[in-house]
Amino acid sequence: MQNKQWILNSFPVGEIKENDLILKDSNLGEVNDGEVLIKNVYLSLDPANRGWMSGKASYVDAMQIGDIMRGGTIGIIEESKNEKFKKGDAVQYQGGWQEYCINDGMGLRTIPLNTGLELPSFLSVMGMPGMTAYFGLLDVLKPKENETLVVSGAAGAVGSLVSQIAKIKGCRVIGIAGTEEKCNWLKNDLNVDGVINYKADNLNSALKELCPNGIDMYFDNVGGEITEAVINRFNIGGRMSICGQISGYNSETLQPGPRNWINILVKRLKVQGFIVFDYQARAKEAFVDMSKWMAEGKLQHKNHIVDGLENAVSSLKMLFSGENKGKMIVKISDE
């Protein structure tokens, strides 16, 4: 049985180029006792994927040349020799950029049926982006009612959920995104209090206008100049949670800290990085609240689903150009 796989062929320098990843056919082995054969259906594409390809260990081990490209997936069990799973079960796991996977059951989470939620939701609002938004906002920033929150990457998979959860918690929310379409979605559908198109607007003056009482919290998905502009407008005692730094992921050199770093001292800021994996043990808290808010119609989300594993690289690149419209997902096969 043949299995199409994306293989890391070279560590990208700057933007991902043709031949950094190559699509290959391989032979799928046998399903041994204790193992399951999984057909991958949906593949999650996330900004963090770029860092995994760098050849440098970070919060995960470094990928090696020749490895199957890593990625979060949803798959359907096709054959099971593991008593914990049966044919037809839907599972969420790190299945990688491939059509099939033989797995010993470690790291598979069965997706509950009859929730009324479509499968891709478990890669977005009920998956890693949802947990990231939930804990990065509620546990790291600890918002209080009426505080002003700025979110960068606000129309993205994580940012759009952060914006909505913060509204549920009674905050004033200003979203930063890179197109008018995204800004309109944030403003008209997600009801954030103000939007900034960082490609069109002057960041400093827009933040001044939209945050007349300063900024209390910043949920950072991007880093770079946007972060510097927010720091300039922070109130004393402001809090900042660092979730992602996408503006620097394609850079050949490390993206340096903000040039106005001294404000961390002068304004007594609290800056904290976090990784969603650290919250695995508390995942249930997020699922309970998120599904309740979804049922109440308080959480919207958008999936941008591209058909075909062969389009995974071009789809990943859309995250960096900002062309994606919602959570980026590749559909590998039919459910």
Binding site for a copy of itself (CB under 8 A): 58-59, 223, 236, 242-245, 248, 254-275, 278
If the CB atoms of residues 35 and 147 are measured against a copy of itself, the closer one turns out to be: 147
Q: How far is the CB of 83 from a copy of itself (least distance, A)?
A: 35
Q: Which is nearer to a copy of itself, 106 or 254 (CB)?
A: 254
Nearest distance in Å: CB 259, a copy of itself? 5
Query: In the complex with a copy of itself, which residue's Cβ is closer, 26 or 255?
Result: 255
Q: How far is CA 306 from CA 73, 74, 332, in A?
A: 14, 15, 9
3-state SS of the chain is CEEEEEEECCCCCCCCCECCEEEEEEECCCCCCCCEEEEEEEEECCCHHHHHCCCCCCCCCCCCCCCECCCCEEEEEEEECCCCCCCCCEEEECCCCECEEEECCCCCEECCCCCCCCHHHHHCCCCHHHHHHHHHHHHHHCCCCCCEEEEECCCCHHHHHHHHHHHHCCCEEEEEECCHHHHHHHHHHCCCCEEEECCCCCHHHHHHHHCCCCEEEEEECCCHHHHHHHHHHEEEEEEEEECCCHHHHCCCCCCCCCCCCHHHHHCCCEEEECCHHHHHHHHHHHHHHHHHHHHCCCCCCCEEEEECHHHHHHHHHHHHHCCCCCEEEEECCCC
Q: Considering the complex, what minimum distance in angstroms separates the CB of residue 121 from a copy of itself?
A: 26
Distance in Å, CB of 244 to a copy of itself, minimum: 7
* Nearest distance, CB of residue 56 and a copy of itself, angstroms: 10
Which one, 211 or 242, has the nearer CB to a copy of itself? 242
Q: Which is nearer to a copy of itself, 259 or 298 (CB)?
A: 259
**What is the chain's Cα-based Rg?**
20
Q: Which of residues 117 and 275 has its CB atom nearest to a copy of itself in the complex?
A: 275
Q: What's the min distance (Å) between Cβ of 269 and a copy of itself?
A: 6
- Closest CB 105 distance from a copy of itself, rounded Å: 28
Q: How far is the CB of 27 from a copy of itself (least distance, A)?
A: 36
Closer to a copy of itself by Cβ: residue 293 or 320: 320
Q: Which is nearer to a copy of itself, 131 or 195 (CB)?
A: 131
